[in-house]
Structure 1
Amino acid sequence: MKRYSLETRARAVELIDRGYGKGSLSTALAIPISIAEKWTHTYRAVGKEAFLGMGSKHRRYDYETKLAAARDFVDLGMTRQEVMSKHGIANLTQLKNWAKAYREGGPEALRPKPKGRPRKDGGDPPEPRSREQELEAENRRLRAEVAYLKKLRALEAAKRAPGRNAR
């Protein structure tokens, strides 16, 4: 997605204030009409400061704000512009996504999801091993260590063998 400079956005604010619509704004700034429409809508919803500050950082909204905005939009039938203005939401797509999640899953769908991999199940502590099991495990470990050392010696001997090119 292309990012537009602050100067372009400031020029858009001037033109919208002069009464330019999405088509004439699109032509004047050489931007797609869909972007001009979003900018016009967002500017009217959140105002100049919030509009010019968009894109400089990712804004995070808490659960209560998301829930209130989704309820206002879905349950109370407020317009998108009213909801964005009331709750200070600068992104129309976020509001649409919250409304969709609220319709499909209710308030719980807007709760933050846990990050990362789920924790390993602690379960029952491992049973203590018998002396025989411990010795068998140690025997397997020692056999693997001996096999590794034998392979290492064979590789070193092959490197030193006469007739081989040393690298």
Structure 2
Amino acid sequence: MTIYDRSVREAACGLFERGLGHEAAAARLGVPLKAVRQWHLTYRAVGRDALLDMGSHRTYDYETKVAAASAVVDGGMAMPEAMGRFGVASISPLKSWCRLYREGGADALRPKPRGRPRGSGAEAAPATREEELEREVRRLEAQVAYLKKSIALKAELGLPLGTGRRP
């Protein structure tokens, strides 16, 4: 989706203030109807300043999210009205809040922890002498198995086995 600069949105505000709708404004500005419809909705709901500040990512606190979502879902308030009452600049976050609220209630709107989760915190205890010896035995058994396979393969191919010494 193309991002339009502030001057285009200012021109749209001027057209809205003169009473033009989103279809007429889209035709005059040469901007897709879908974008101008979104601008008009924002303009009607929260005003000129919110429309001109669009494009910057806004964050909302937990209480605002819950209040807006419950007003729409439980209270039957229209989304544009909720946008105006709670100061939500775009309908997109409000739609996602309503979906989350329907699926999981108010707890679904709680902020999620960011970043990579921490490890268990406890480092592995150092290996005991017995564990170290068991690990060494497994390594040596694997080495012997590898060498036995190598000898069997050489015998199968008829290659000389060698003396075991390197020149």
TM-score over 0.5 for the pair = yes
- The Cα shift of 1:41 comes to 0.7
Q: CA deviation at 1:133?
A: 3.4
Tell me, in whole angstroms, the C-alpha distance in 2 between the residues paired with 1:100 and 1:30.
33
**What is the CA-CA distance between 1:5 and the residue it aligns to?**
1.5
1:67 corresponds in structure 2 to 66
Secondary structure at the counterpart of residue 52 of structure 2: helix
* Residues 54-81 of structure 1 deviation map (CA, whole Å, 9 limit, x = unaligned): 11x2111111111111011111111111
Amino acid of the structure 2 residue aligned with 1:104: E
| 3-state SS of paired residue (2:4) | coil
Quote the residue 2:129 is aligned against.
130
1:20-56 residue CA offsets vs partner (Å, 9 max, x unmatched): 112111100001111111111110101111111111x
1:98 paired with 2:97, answer: yes
Number of residue pairs aligned between Structure 1 and Structure 2: 136
**Cα distance in 1 between the residues matched to 2:121 and 2:35:** 51
Structure-1 residue corresponding to 2:54: 54
Q: Which residue of 2 aligns with 1:85?
A: 84
Q: CA-to-partner distance for each residue in 1:69-110, whole Å, 9 max, x for gaps?
A: 101111111111111011110010110000000001111111
Q: Distance in 1 between matches of 2:79 and 2:63?
A: 18
Matched AA of 1:40: H
Distance apart, 1:127 and its partner CA: 5.6
CA distance in 1, matches of 2:57, 2:103: 25
Q: Deviation above 6 Å: which 4+ runs of structure 1? A: none
Corresponding residue of 2:41:
41
Distance 1:114 1:132 in 2: 38
Moved more, 65-74 or 111-120: 111-120
Deviations 1:92-139 (A, max 9, x none): 0110000000001111111111112222224686266238938x88xx
Counterpart position of 1:121:
120
What RMSD in Å do the two structures reach over aligned CA positions? 2.2
Q: Report percent identity of matched pairs.
A: 45
* Structure 2 alignment gaps of length 5 or more: 140-167
TM-score (norm: length of structure 1): 0.74
Aligned twin of 1:26: 26
When normalised by structure 2's length, the TM-score is 0.74
Alpha-carbon separation, structure 2, partners of 1:116 and 1:36: 36
State the alpha-carbon separation in 2 of the partners of residues 132 and 31 from structure 1. 71
Q: Report what 2:153 is aligned to.
A: none
Distance in 2 between the 1:119 and 1:14 partners? 51
